[in-house]
A and B are shown apart, each in its own frame.
Chain A
């Protein structure tokens, strides 16, 4: 390890280390990162689809989606660009409840690709979404989720780097075999566990 002459770190930054994964720093703001323009889908045209191969397992309009069981969580979130935000409050529908609503007792494949407005995709193992670990979130901090933060609905998988919590999610597709999504094809890690600092391919 080399030390850097004259660098001491920000006062206060060191106190938070226990709740922060390696290489992360605490922010009170909510920075925005996306690869392209923010898509704007009116709620009367919004739907969420659950799909296995070519077959549709379930599809919900905004109104129907609002009627599903709702869950509130308070979680820490960690972005691969190094910021972490602690104690964020989200509300939405768990993937467990979504599968139940589609009449599925268990997931029909071990992997899932999330497809979003704007063409973004991200891949996840199903087990990282079940038992309350994954949500389709529509509210942040008690308010409807703002478009630049992924509204009307985004995936929320807080135990992985935040690019896995895909903004503007519209379609969840089961996959028999894992395939890389958008950032996962562009040099970022396929799984993205912040506590193991899996930022980039090969980490």
Chain B
């Protein structure tokens, strides 16, 4: 059964908060994690996102939405942002922002694409590129909940362009190697994989989902996040394999904004 938890902010206006960058971590050549100090952060659920607002000296403002990478248990809110060539906000966040910089943020937002250990599983995560970010919050949350988390079987199938483009690669390896950790399966789509590669080397398709995923009879909670074409293809394949549409939750990153 799906348990929908309503974010704690419902009913009150989500206020813009002034946040400060505490640390930046380069994840891949194009993706950067910003650890933020957010005064009065009300807490969040894994899978939720925030709105970010930047203001230029002349008063011009731009807003975009970004998934939260940190689990509810973490002391700081983390955003992982991929720089889009044509982006307006992501180049600043992923390229320019450094410790001590300030901008505005409000959230958490979104009460649907969320998961907590209490909602149970099995948990099936399918990500493409930076679509791994909200899924990582779920895996980090699962890990933070120790025994209760380990009781929920979890698998992640992550599609990245190349080995160098895999976000959180080392942490995913650590999580997957831990006792009771999630099964982590990679596929790379743009470059031939290195010798000894254990993952796939093609776009995610139905046979791959059938091999990696839980069977429909296990009634997994499925979360799919990535670009629109990737999510369309994966969601259609999952339904084709017999998974109930209502168990497949999707989040699509348009090719156009900072998302």
- Which residues of A approach B to under 8 Å, CB–CB? 1-10, 13-14, 23, 25, 27-29, 31-39, 81-83, 118-119, 148, 182-183, 185-187, 199-203
Contacts and interface: CB of A to CB of B under 8 A. Distances in A.
Of A13, A81, A187, which is in contact with the most chain B CB atoms at under 10 Å from its CB?
Answer: A187
Interface stretch (B167-175, B193-201, B233-241): B233-241
Given A13-B88, A23-B63, A200-B14, A4 B55 contact: yes
State the main secondary structure of chain A at its contact with B: loop
7 contacts: A2-B55, A4-B55, A9-B62, A29-B254, A32-B252, A81-B259, A148-B228
Interface residues of B, number: 52
A81 B59 contact: no
Interface of B: 4, 6-7, 9-14, 18, 51, 53-57, 59-65, 88, 92, 96, 101-104, 109-113, 228, 232, 235-236, 238-239, 245-246, 248-250, 252, 254-257, 259
Contacts of B9: 187, 200-202
Of A3, A23, A27, which is in contact with the most chain B CB atoms at under 10 Å from its CB?
Answer: A3
A186 B4 contact: yes
B12 to A, nearest CB: 5
B236 A187 contact: no
B55 A3 contact: yes
A39 B245 contact: yes
Contacts of A13: 60, 62, 88
Nearest to A201: B10
Nearest to B18: A2
Contacts of B54: 4, 7, 9
A202 B13 CA distance: 4
A187 B57 contact: no
A183 B61 CA distance: 26
